[in-house]
Structure formats: C-alpha cells, structure tokens
Chains A and B, each alone.
Chain A
Amino acid sequence: MTTTTVAAATEYVVQLRRISKRFGGVHALREVDLELRRGEIMGIVGDNGAGKSTLMKILSGAYVADEGEIWVNGRKVRIRNPQDSARLGIAMIYQDLALFNNFDVTKNIFIGRELTRGPMGLVLDKKRMYRETQELIRELKVDIKSPRQNVASMSGGQRQMVACARAIAFKSTILIMDEPTAALGVTEANKLLGLIRNLADKGISILLITQRIPDVLAIADRVFVLKGGERQGVLDVGKVTLDDVVTLIVRGKDRAGEAPGDVMYKSFG
C-alpha cells in the first residue's frame, strides 16, 4: 500500500508509517503502520511488552520514534514532545495516570492550559474554570460530584473520567487511552466504556489500548494487533470472534491460519 492518493490519505486522521523504536538492545517497534479513521474506536491489543504503550507514546510525544513518519489529517507532522502532539489535537491518557493528587478536579483539568483574565492574563479565572468543569461533568454525565473534589480521594474510574474530561476540555480530536479499564471493577469499567463510545459518537477518534478483548469487541470498530513490536493485522470487529483476535495475539499473523492443535504445540515448543 505505498500508492495512497491524497484523497485516500485524508480519510485517516492518523497514519503511522514504518515506525521503529529501540530501547538499547530492545527492539520495541519494527516498521509499524497504523491508520485511524475519523470518529472510530480502534482497539490496540497484544501481549505485555508487545509495544502498545510505546507506539501510542510516540504519537503523544512522550517518546520520539527512531524511524518512520507520522501523518495527521493528511499532513506529515513532527511530534517531538507532548506540546507538539497537543497542538495537533492529540491527547493521551496514561496507564500510570498523570493526575495531580494535590489538586482538585478543576485544577487537574486545566493545568498547563489555565484560563486567565486581567492584563497579560496575570490572574487565574477560577470562576470560569470551575463553571466549565461543572458543565463538562454534566455534559459527559460522569460520576463526579463536585469540580472541587480532590482527585486523591477518587476511585480509579473517576480518575479516568477526570483524565477524559481534561482531553475533552481542550477540544482534542484524537484521544489515546492506555488500559483505562485495567484497574476498574465491572461496573466502573462499563461506565467508562460507555463514556468512550459516547465520545466517539461525538466525532472524536479513539485509540484504545487494552488487555480485555471483550471490551474491544463491545465498543471498538476495529482491532489492531501487535506482537513483538510488529503489526500482525487489523480486524473489523463486526467480522471476527474473540477467538480470532486471541489467536492473532498469541500466534501472530504468520501462524494464525494453522490448525489449532498443531500451532498450540509449536507456539509452546
């Protein structure tokens, strides 16, 4: 697929082309391609250490790729740091939640892009920040009681929702989430998945890393499978079963088609 036309290219909000990344001797990513469509939820799956977080961190500017290109909205871009990525409308919600336990919800949402007033924007516009947070809580129907609640006192699900609200507050159009449901109970996880589906329906494109394949099958449009830092394939959620996905994760693209017993034997051999 080297001959993409311009029209076809802009169908994608994000294109990663032949992305490679090494950490010393570890080849975390090898020439990975990824295409994300507007308003879709793409699940990113793979075993521990497959390179999921690394790939997404390259898009969010937390890491810089050794090789490869990033295209956003049909334009080739350079993402050297989180600011570059934010300017392109990309927001990442980290696995190790990047929240401030010494701050309330509002400050967590606005830190780094504070609303100000007065000459030279000298004074924090606290009133507006608290009001907008209140509105955001209502709009997203999230389970947070007050914009003044301290995040240190929140459950994992609530904390994820604060992180989502932060991304939405800044009109991010591409949202990356790294195992958001990993530490959540069933009820909270479902609430969060509902919120994610909600956001996608509003036109936000979402990359969702997860180990929970059923979650992906429930809300994603497509699933991207990584193994050993290499792309194994992209599956349409409507056309595959849980087994298909798991098989691809475990065996990789080259052996996914082989007879089950046979491959099980080989893969553990």
Chain B
Amino acid sequence: MAGARGILWLAGAALRADRRGAAVNAVAACVGAAALVLFLALGLGVGAAARRLFPADARLVEVVPARVSLGGVLGGGRLDDDAVARLRALPGAAAAWPRLPLGVPVSASEPAGGLGGRWPSGLALQLPLVGVDPALVADDVAPGAFADPPPGEPIPIVLARRLVEVYDRTLAPAWNLRRLPPGVSLVGVELPVRIGHSIVAGASEARVAPERLRLAGLSDRVPLYAVAVPIETVRRLHREYGKGEPAYGQVTVLAARPEDVPSLAAAVRRMGFSVDEGERATAERVATIVKVTTGALVLLAVTMCGLAALAIAQALSASVRGRARELAVLQALGAAPADVRRIVLAEGAAIGLAGGLAGALLARGLAALGDAAAARLLPDLPFRPESFFLFPPWLLALGVAVPVLAAIAGALGPAAAAARIDPARTLA
C-alpha cells in the first residue's frame, strides 16, 4: 500500500480540485457538529446548575412524622430515640440522624462581626435554629468544630451552602448589605444573637441571654432556611429553658447505596412515618427534564450529522463516478484498489475533520453569545449560572470525532465503489 502521506497528498489534491463541493459538505458536517456540541454543552451546563439548585443526595431519605397520624396505632407516629434506633436498624440503612428544632426563640439585631454593612436600624431577625447530629455534617466542618461548646464559647452553626447564594442575590442588594465572599472564607464569622428573645410581642422567654453563633461550615445536608446547631446544644437549651423532651422534627436516614433508597422508603412508610420527597422529587424531576430535553436535542444533532454523512456519501459517489478514469489512471501508475479506497475515505475524513473543528469552534462561539445575552437579559436571580454551557475537553473531542466518523461512514460506499473500478476496462 502507498504510504499515508501519499494517500493524503492525493486526497488533498482531489479536494482542492472540487473546493466548492468539499466546502458545502464540510459546512453540513460543521452544522451537525456545532449542534451536537452546543446541545450537549447546554444539557451539561443546565444539569450542573440544577444540581447546584437541588443538591439532593441520592442516598438520603428524609423521615417526617405521618401526616395523618395513625402513628399510635401502627407503633410509629412519634419520632423519638426509639424510632431513630429502629430506623437505623432497617435493612439498607447506614445511619439515621435526628433533627431537633429549638423550641426557644432566638433573634439577631446586629450584623455579623467583620462583615460590616448597614444593618437597617431597628431590624431584628428571628432565627430558626435546628439541632442536627454532628455526623450529618462531618464532611463539611473541621473535625471537632461542631459540638456543644463549653460556657462562654460561641455556638457553632452550619448553614446551607445555597443560603449564601440566596442572600447574595436577594437580601444583600435589597438591604444594601455587602455581598458575602464565596465559600469557606466565611467560616469563623460570628453573629451576636439573643437567646430567648422573640420579635413577636409576648413570645420572649423570661430569661434572655446574649450569645454568639460562629459559622463552622457550609453544607448541602442542612435545611435551606434554618440555622443548624449541634443537637446537644438544642437539648441543653431545652433543659435550661424547661422545655422537656420534644419529639424530633425529622430524621435523615442514609442508605448504604442509592439503590437501597426505594425499599428503605417503603420500610419507613410501613413503620407509620412519612417520607419527605419534596426536594429529592423536584431534583429528580428537573434532572429528568434536563436529560430528556438534552437527549432529544442530541438525537436531533446526531440526525444532522447523519444527514451530513448522507450528503457526503451522495457527493462522493457522484465524484467517484465522475473521476473513474482518473482513479483508473492512478491504478495504472501504481495504486492498488485498497489505495483508491483509502484516498476516498481520506477525502471523507478530511471533510468531516474540517467540519467538526469548525463546528466545535462555532458551538463555543454561540455559547459565549448565549451567555452574554443571558447576562444582559436575565435578572440576577439566585443560582443563575455564570454560563449555561459546559465544555469539558471530551465534549470537544466528541464534537470532532462524531462528524469525522459520520463522514467516514458516508465515504464507505463511494470508497468501495472506487476500489471496484476495473482499470483495464476503464482505460480501454
């Protein structure tokens, strides 16, 4: 067989001979590639944004008291330590962490230390505190930083990671407050509060004590609109304020594997509790919508690549018919049928490669335009992504590989026809 460089030289010469036809087919491949890359990038980008909006952990089952309480009859009902122990013992359950809402009001009327800003005068915020098991947020805080503190020390808190974003995009601009720096640099910030004080007249406790809350970390496992503190701290405050032993508001059960979640949820319901599907169901619905939409668009793009392949097949087979004599001459000069086949395949591959590269670049350009338009036209909502498109390197490689493969597939038939040319008969 003639060498690869010889084949490419000849394929290049053939493409130059019909620049217009080659360009038309490359444009077809380019459109297919651009659509493929753009749609997949959009699916990936929107999917990532949706996961940021609903950071549902596929292994968590949120157990809440039954909505219609037949609990007493069925032996469930109250979420107490006994129920937690039974939940933890369910097959497929790796852990069960109770949540205990604080029954004592807490309010804040000063800004957090170090953050400054203009706290609206007279504004007092009621803070919902909820006690959580330190194991729930073990991955999100420094070891030992989330435990009931000794007297005089600030109470460690964990906030929902998403709360920072909501604050930055809604509360901060509305109240003229500084936006929060992103991520862990917030850790250590302290907020002065008054335990026992309520902004509702008459709802305050007899004893109001100043305290400090200290941010220990951000987590996706704590409620969005609550301040998570160590569950021991809530128990201590309940004792100090004579609140008895209230039931848990919710228990988070961690499944050993995501596949265990359905059977675990069913077992929880048999125990007489409800499963709060709220966020996870929404997350799954959004993820499904994104996947289905992306899938449909990718199918469309693949169809476009297929049409490009058909166009290339049609053009190349006309071209092969038109230059049967030239291909026969090449055989007389020393090309084997396999060489002729490879020349035509190389022509197709070159068209696909040119189209694919142009298409990948075009997709990037269109995505940049789309993001720029979104930045100008959409309000600064929480969770609005910087970009609606994600371009991992594999996507660009795929955007080039698919049109190249489609073009080669389209060239297979014409290449086989070219290899079947009988030089003796053609040159007679």
Q: Tell me if chain B binds chain A.
A: no
Chain A residues within 8 Å of B, Cβ to Cβ: none
Chain B residues within 8 Å of A, Cβ to Cβ: none
